[in-house]
Amino acid sequence: MAESNSPKKPVEEDGPSANRTSDQIIRLDSEREQRRANTVIGDDELDALVALEPAALEAPSKEPRQATVAVAPPAPAKPKRSLTRPILFALLPVALVVGGYYYVIGGQVMTTDNAYIQAQSLGVSTDVSGTVSEIDVHENEAVKKDQVLFRLRPASFETALAAAQAQLGTVRNQVLTLLASYRQSQALIEQAQADIPYYEAAFQRQQDLLKTSTSSKATFDSAQHDLVAARQKVSVAEAQAQATLAQLGGDASQPVEKNPFYLQAQSAVDDAQRNLADSVVKAPFDGIVTNVDALQVGRYLPASQPAFSLVSATDLWIAAEPKETELTYVRPGQTATISVDAYPGAVWHGTVASISPASSSSFSLLPAQNTTGNWVKVVQRIPLRVTVDDLQGKPPLRGGMSAVVGIDTGHARGLPDFVTDLINRFGQES
């Protein structure tokens, strides 16, 4: 009997094979739930296991396939709870109390960065005019007090000094001549006074003889004339002595150096000597010269015109301009600390020397006025000066450097106003 060519329908399997497939599916589901509950298998491993399940659901082969089950490792021990968070929560009130304490006792130091170093400086000049003959310093050179900076040509000043000295000698001789004239007048007075008694006796004799008609009237008149002339000589000599004495300053016994004419001539000599000394310009204080190149040898320098500048290296101070609201407890004499931007870490100490009586804007050419109708209130700045007490052994300070000044006012910030009011109110109620 011939075999039929028609396709055969698959015969549904039933019995033990079908039961094995359903049992295998149930086992895989139970293993997946167990692994998910134990959290041993990660999400990636679980997805891989699910991907294998369709293969297990395929038609079973002739020989049954035994499923492989992974053994889960033991669950790790539960970690101990960290103590960091409780400690932080416990330290928070302590930090608040400590911060509040330092806030209450703080605020004693008024700090401002609107401060700059100022130094004494001047334009070196002289009050005589002349031609520069020598320059003895160089640019930015440190100089000492009384060190020669430059010189003017001295010829004209030396000539003027010699003329003044010669005039002084002439005046001295004139004073000596006046003294001799005064002594001569004194001698003439003594001589005239010595002749008067003689002429008085001769006049008295002729008068007696005239009464007895023994002497003539002509002889009597001659004796009378001689007596009057002798007395006039005394008067003339005394007048000459007084005139000479007046030229001597009213005191013939004083030294020649005290005579007014001599003093006048001596002042001319001193002035000429001063002009000669001023032709050599010296440093009035220790410092550093700058802009020296502006002066050249051979230049005619008029009197009082600055030649170059000299900046002091020791006379320094801090010019600060804090806000008016920061000066509530600042007083002269308070101590201060100074730090300069150019020298990080270095600290100077100083003292508040003075506080300006007015704000900086008060001295401007056009100060602000509140009557213009467009007034805007602006916090003003009050200048104050701080001296530097410890310059020795510190880096050199230069004028114009930026600084930060902290002034110890000695006044703590204290409790806020509302807290103080509450304490006072509770104290009154109790």
Any residues with CB less than 8 A from the CB of 222 and at least 6 apart, and which? 206
**Residue 408 in contact with residue 109, Cβ under 8 Å?**
yes
Burial class (CB in 10 A: 0-12, 13-18, 19+), 206: buried
Residue spans of the chain under pLDDT 50: 1-19, 39-42, 46, 49-50, 52-65, 67, 69
The pLDDT assigned to 7 comes to 42
pTM: 0.58
The pLDDT assigned to 384 comes to 94
The pLDDT assigned to 3 comes to 41
End-to-end CA distance of the chain: 127
Candidates 386, 376, 378; CA nearest to 360 is: 378
The pLDDT assigned to 28 comes to 64
